[in-house]
Chains A and B, each alone.
Chain A
Amino acid sequence: MELLQNLALGFSILADPMNILYSLLGVVFGVIIGALPGLGPSVGIAVLLPMCYGLQPVSALAMLCGIYYGAMYGGSITSILINTPGDSAAIMTTLDGYPMAKKGQAGKALGMACLASVIGGTISVVLFMTLSPIISNFATKFGPSEYFALMVLGLTSIAGMTGKSPAKGFLAAFLGLFISGIGIDLVFGSTKFVFDNVNLYSGIDFVPVAMGLFGIAEIVCNYENNNITVDKESIKLKNLLPSREDWKYSLPHIGRGTILGFIIGMLPGAGATIASFLSYDMAKRTSPRSEKFGTGIIEGVAAPECANNASSMGAMVPMLTLGVPGSGATAIMMGALMMLGISPGPSFFVNSREVAWGLVASMYLGNVILVCVGLGALSLFVRILNVKTTTLNAIIFVFILMGAYALENSLFTVGVTLFFGVLGYFLKKLQVPAAPMVLALVLGALTETNLRQALIIESNNFFKVISHPIASVILVVAVLLAFGTPIKNLILKMRKSA
């Protein structure tokens, strides 16, 4: 089969031990960068880019892929251990990962996060390899109407993370929607809630908000609680690997989450964040233990983790087949490829066969190394919890502020983070969940932008907007998800009384 031949070619190019070393370097660096709050794969790739100048294309790609995967996993480490997501894709991991850590199962959560990430990553490489030619046009089928529908679907998943009080969850979501509207309007150029402050022209980015709401608020609240101690038993390797029972619960979700993540990753307008939200929501709806989500169950960690790694692979599809970057990190990767003299695009796989398949092989390699590094260093990560709380909090606080400044080279962003840190503290006290606020912030701007673009295209005919075939299917699904249960209950009640 030609496919296997190509893959063999790729691996033969990669087989040089130096390439394995580069991949290892990339993974380790990526994990560290991913764990630091506010920094994600984009930063990691950008920082290591200069090191790629003198390297062969395949070696450079091996390193960059390693960083990408490592960062996707790294974000979940701090999510689980200290409830501070390393990047937005790891926010969902806090919902069940941190409660698991509080229950003393931090090692298991980390182990599952790593394995789910790798399984999701590997399956999606296979999908990428086999389906690329067929699905390369998938990204282009989505225009503003379709993205609008997808964002509406994403917004329905908010219901799944409201916790005990839906009203409070929706309150947080509406706050998030409001904040997403701040900035200069895309269509008219008028200013909304900018208060003549130049720094607000481009709106409020969700990264400082997430760091403040989750990171700083958590630190402040920790002063009032005791910290988690980890005893030596729970960090032995056999306790870190998920048990048979855990696999029984998680595998179906990993399977579904991977496919969902991959598909969403392929859409340039959506990304790892949305993929992890939707995967978590899907897992919650389909799991027999659905009411336990949020209290610390293993599939609540597995589902978002496999989805965000699958989506990072999915984002490579439009990048390599069309030359259109599928996410921020792939945009930088594309820059890296162009710097190496390769232009990704429709003729990439045809013209640069060796590099293309070397890239695919290095994705497999990256996943393998991630497993080794992730599991091998697990006991190290878990020991972080043994550091005295006050010291740990101080260090995290410094890293959060540094990350906030590094985002835009501006103290304004640091101010935003601190503001949301204070807000987050009050939200925690009032038991208002923070995840819906961040989700609404991320999706709100996208929903509005896409809706308005769609309206312009269809000359303000809303009905025409929602009657695009793909859009209408997605919207029907969203309506069913939102109203399905009440309607079902209503029907059941009517049957009973009849």
Chain B
Amino acid sequence: MKKIFKLALILGAALSIAACGGNAKQADNPKNGGNAKNKSTATSWVPKKDIEFVIPFGAGGGNDVMVRKLIEIIKKENLCPVNIVPVNKKGGSGVVGYTYLKSKGANNEYTLSSTSASFYTQPIVGNSPFKVNEQNFAFVAHMVKDPVMVAAYPGRGFKTMKDVVDYAKAHPDELTWGGVGNVSDDAIIMYMLCDVAGIKIKYVPYDDGGLLQAANIGGHIDLSVPSIAEGTELMKTGKLTPIAACADARFKEFPDIPTTIEAGYQINHQQSRGIIMNPGVSKEVREYYSGLFKKVSETKEWKEFTEKNGMTPAYMSYDQYTKFALDTYADYEKYLKLVKKTGK
């Protein structure tokens, strides 16, 4: 009896493994391919096997949430004939993920990845071997920008950017500005402000956004730049004072708070998130993916998602994004020169 039981167990395991493998085969089913042809625009390339989307950051983070939402919308609206499978490969502020992407080969047409600020900053500070250029990556589509609000500890009594700048001029090196990471956009915005206003503020790096918020509320840190998702509740209840919006336009929830540009300071720097792939893919492949994500950006669900999470939808097609990415990289090089760091 024991032998039969063991045999049954092995057979059962083998069958279930085979069944798992079966799912992947469906993508090759010509019927599915036919349906998708009708829905997609007349590009000459369509994917024939499952696509892997490498998320270079941890589960639950901003990048992760955005990518999974993209995939969810694509699946729901049947925009793609094959499955897109998200895979988290975090580490080294994105380097592990991008290394994995490139390991698939320069001509690989079925692996995508996403970008955020570290995509630009890590190669500049020397922690990543992948400079942002066309030899290393193909730029597929730009999706959103992440605007933030400059916020202050209420106990300081600041109401406008001018208050902050005047105080900083009178008391150099006294105010503290907290942010996550030391070369992140949080830091860059501060250094830009110091540069254009001629003031000195101390930057305090955190690796935990929640802790930073608690410190800001408690007055240990004077200024920070929370996103709308993080900071709306606190700013509405007076735990933090909103000063200026680092965005293209005023935030809906705070119509009385001017943008940094309206307040007179050219520090409108926002983190951008886009989609990339390996550099050797043909123009048709880029057109396909670019078109796919364009359709996502036009859905109602995407608009609701970006609004709820305080992101600014900013779709760019592959050629626009390529120019944008290269320009942004040059800008980041300029900004990071402003950031103090020890030599290596």
Q: Which of A327-353 contact B (CB under 8 A)?
A: 331-332, 335, 343, 345-347
Would you call B314 an interface residue if the criterion is a C-beta within 8 Å of the partner chain's C-beta atoms? no
Q: For B207, B214, B215, B234, which residue has the most chain A Cβ atoms within 10 angstroms?
A: B214
Would you call A191 an interface residue if the criterion is a C-beta within 8 Å of the partner chain's C-beta atoms? yes
Residue of chain B at shortest CB distance from A455? B204
Instruction: Determine if B127 and A188 form an interchain contact, defined as CB atoms under 8 angstroms apart.
Output: no
Would you call B301 an interface residue if the criterion is a C-beta within 8 Å of the partner chain's C-beta atoms? no
Cβ proximity bits B196-239 to A, threshold 8 Å, 1 near / 0 not: 00000011111110110111011111000000000001101101
Instruction: Determine if B214 and A268 form an interchain contact, defined as CB atoms under 8 angstroms apart.
Output: yes
Instruction: Determine if B206 and A453 form an interchain contact, defined as CB atoms under 8 angstroms apart.
Output: yes
Instruction: Determine if B214 and A139 form an interchain contact, defined as CB atoms under 8 angstroms apart.
Output: yes
Would you call A182 an interface residue if the criterion is a C-beta within 8 Å of the partner chain's C-beta atoms? no
Q: Which of A58-96 contact B (CB under 8 A)?
A: none
Instruction: Determine if B173 and A184 form an interchain contact, defined as CB atoms under 8 angstroms apart.
Output: no
Q: Which of B183, B203, B205, B239 contacts A346 (CB 8 A)?
A: B239
With both chains docked as a complex, state the minimum distance between the C-beta of B310 and any C-beta of chain A, in angstroms.
Answer: 12
Instruction: Determine if A198 and B96 form an interchain contact, defined as CB atoms under 8 angstroms apart.
Output: yes
Q: Which of B60, B202, B203, B342 contacts A459 (CB 8 A)?
A: B202
Would you call B10 an interface residue if the criterion is a C-beta within 8 Å of the partner chain's C-beta atoms? no
Instruction: Determine if B95 and A457 form an interchain contact, defined as CB atoms under 8 angstroms apart.
Output: no
Residue of chain B at shortest CB distance from A445? B207
- Give the chain A neighbours of B182 by CB distance below 8 A: 186-189
- Give the chain B neighbours of A201 by CB distance below 8 A: 91-93, 95, 127
Would you call A495 an interface residue if the criterion is a C-beta within 8 Å of the partner chain's C-beta atoms? no
Would you call A381 an interface residue if the criterion is a C-beta within 8 Å of the partner chain's C-beta atoms? no
- Give the chain A neighbours of B206 by CB distance below 8 A: 186, 453
Instruction: Determine if B96 and A186 form an interchain contact, defined as CB atoms under 8 angstroms apart.
Output: no
Would you call B341 an interface residue if the criterion is a C-beta within 8 Å of the partner chain's C-beta atoms? yes
Would you call A449 an interface residue if the criterion is a C-beta within 8 Å of the partner chain's C-beta atoms? yes
Instruction: Determine if A269 and B204 form an interchain contact, defined as CB atoms under 8 angstroms apart.
Output: no
> A184-B127, A201-B91 are contacts. A457–B204 as well, Cβ < 8 Å?
yes
- Give the chain A neighbours of B217 by CB distance below 8 A: 140, 322, 324
Complex: A191 Cα to B93 Cα, angstroms? 13
- Give the chain A neighbours of B87 by CB distance below 8 A: 409
Instruction: Determine if B91 and A345 form an interchain contact, defined as CB atoms under 8 angstroms apart.
Output: no
Cβ proximity bits A171-193 to B, threshold 8 Å, 1 near / 0 not: 00000000000001011111100
> A188-B341, A190-B344 are contacts. A408–B90 as well, Cβ < 8 Å?
yes
The stretch that binds B, out of A141-149, A221-229, A304-312, is A141-149
- Give the chain B neighbours of A324 by CB distance below 8 A: 210-211, 213-214, 217
Residue of chain A at shortest CB distance from B65? A335
Cβ proximity bits A314-333 to B, threshold 8 Å, 1 near / 0 not: 00001000111110000110
> A46-B60, A335-B60, A457-B220 are contacts. A199–B214 as well, Cβ < 8 Å?
no
Tally of chain A residues near chain B (CB < 8 A): 44
Instruction: Determine if B91 and A140 form an interchain contact, defined as CB atoms under 8 angstroms apart.
Output: no
Would you call B268 an interface residue if the criterion is a C-beta within 8 Å of the partner chain's C-beta atoms? no
Instruction: Determine if B239 and A322 form an interchain contact, defined as CB atoms under 8 angstroms apart.
Output: yes
Complex: A145 Cα to B206 Cα, angstroms? 14
Instruction: Determine if A199 and B92 form an interchain contact, defined as CB atoms under 8 angstroms apart.
Output: yes
Complex: A98 Cα to B176 Cα, angstroms? 48
Residue of chain B at shortest CB distance from A188? B342
Instruction: Determine if A408 and B91 form an interchain contact, defined as CB atoms under 8 angstroms apart.
Output: yes
Residue of chain A at shortest CB distance from B125? A189
Would you call B59 an interface residue if the criterion is a C-beta within 8 Å of the partner chain's C-beta atoms? yes
Residue of chain A at shortest CB distance from B96? A198
Instruction: Determine if B205 and A142 form an interchain contact, defined as CB atoms under 8 angstroms apart.
Output: no
> A142-B218, A269-B211 are contacts. A187–B234 as well, Cβ < 8 Å?
no
Complex: A202 Cα to B125 Cα, angstroms? 16
Instruction: Determine if B234 and A322 form an interchain contact, defined as CB atoms under 8 angstroms apart.
Output: yes
Instruction: Determine if A409 and B88 form an interchain contact, defined as CB atoms under 8 angstroms apart.
Output: yes
Q: Which of A189-211 contact B (CB under 8 A)?
A: 189-191, 198-199, 201-202
Would you call A56 an interface residue if the criterion is a C-beta within 8 Å of the partner chain's C-beta atoms? no
Cβ proximity bits B160-176 to A, threshold 8 Å, 1 near / 0 not: 00000000000001001
- Give the chain A neighbours of B59 by CB distance below 8 A: 46
Q: Which of B60, B173, B214, B220 contacts A322 (CB 8 A)?
A: B214
> A140-B214, A268-B211, A335-B60 are contacts. A346–B221 as well, Cβ < 8 Å?
no
Would you call A387 an interface residue if the criterion is a C-beta within 8 Å of the partner chain's C-beta atoms? no
Cβ proximity bits A122-147 to B, threshold 8 Å, 1 near / 0 not: 00000000000000010111111100
With both chains docked as a complex, state the minimum distance between the C-beta of A316 and any C-beta of chain B, in angstroms.
Answer: 13
Would you call B89 an interface residue if the criterion is a C-beta within 8 Å of the partner chain's C-beta atoms? yes
Instruction: Determine if B218 and A143 form an interchain contact, defined as CB atoms under 8 angstroms apart.
Output: yes
Complex: A408 Cα to B95 Cα, angstroms? 14
With both chains docked as a complex, state the minimum distance between the C-beta of B136 and any C-beta of chain A, in angstroms.
Answer: 16
Q: Which of B208, B220, B234 contacts A143 (CB 8 A)?
A: B220
Instruction: Determine if A459 and B173 form an interchain contact, defined as CB atoms under 8 angstroms apart.
Output: yes
> A140-B217, A346-B239, A459-B202 are contacts. A409–B89 as well, Cβ < 8 Å?
yes
Residue of chain B at shortest CB distance from A186? B205
Would you call A243 an interface residue if the criterion is a C-beta within 8 Å of the partner chain's C-beta atoms? no
The list of the 6 closest CB pairs from A to B, nearest first, reads A143-B220, A140-B218, A345-B233, A201-B92, A346-B237, A198-B92
Taking Cβ atoms with an 8 Å cutoff, the residues of A that contact B are 46, 137, 139-145, 184, 186-191, 198-199, 201-202, 268-269, 318, 322-326, 331-332, 335, 343, 345-347, 408-410, 412, 449, 453, 456-457, 459
User: Can you list 22 contacts pairing A with B, beta carbon distance less than 8 Å?
Assistant: A140-B217, A144-B204, A144-B215, A187-B205, A188-B342, A189-B182, A198-B91, A198-B92, A199-B91, A199-B96, A268-B211, A269-B208, A318-B210, A318-B214, A322-B214, A322-B234, A323-B234, A324-B210, A343-B233, A345-B233, A409-B89, A457-B220
Instruction: Supply 10 further A-B pairs (C-beta < 8 A) apart from A184-B93, A345-B233.
Output: A137-B218, A139-B218, A188-B341, A191-B344, A202-B93, A269-B211, A318-B210, A331-B210, A457-B221, A459-B202
